[in-house]
Structure 1
Amino acid sequence: MLEPGTGKLYVKKDGSTYYMHSSKCMNNFNLGRLPRRTEWTEKGRIQLKKA
């Protein structure tokens, strides 16, 4: 989870919310990249069995 006062909150038109930790996360989200296919994310590391 994010520390209070850090990161960015992204709200889509349908009302769903996303908390972004950094600009790296925000840019990958905007490009449509999936976290489970990105090696440096927690979900990606779990899929590669390195977490």
Structure 2
Amino acid sequence: MRTCSFCGEQIQEGTGTMYVKKDGTIYLFCSSKCEKNRIKLGRVSRKVKWVKK
């Protein structure tokens, strides 16, 4: 089990999305909603109300 980099939920093996930046930083996302909020919109998870983290 892995943890989503944005919302902190558990991700089952074989599901989710991995995003690797040019500097080698790896982000794991459980859904496209989390991915868009972090990468495209640049939001911080502690300031988003629906995140349970």
Q: Same fold (TM over 0.5)?
A: yes
Gaps of 5+ in 1: 44-51
Count of residues in correspondence between the two structures? 43
Structure of greater Rg:
1
Percent of aligned positions that are identical = 49
- Equivalent of 1:36, from 34, 37, 46? 46
Higher strand share goes to which structure? Answer: 2
Larger relative contact order, structure 1 or 2 (CA cutoff 8 Å, min sep 6)? 2
Higher helix share goes to which structure? Answer: 1
Q: Paired residue for 1:12?
A: 21
Give per-residue Cα distances to partners, 1:12-42, cap 9 Å, x unaligned.
0000101011010011012100100001112
Tell me whether 1:21 sits opposite 2:21 in the alignment: no
**4+ residue segments displaced more than 3 Å:** none
CA distance, structure 1, for counterparts of residue 43 and residue 27 of structure 2? 14
Gaps of 5+ in 2: 1-9
Q: TM-score, normalised by structure 2?
A: 0.74
Alignment root-mean-square deviation, CA:
0.8
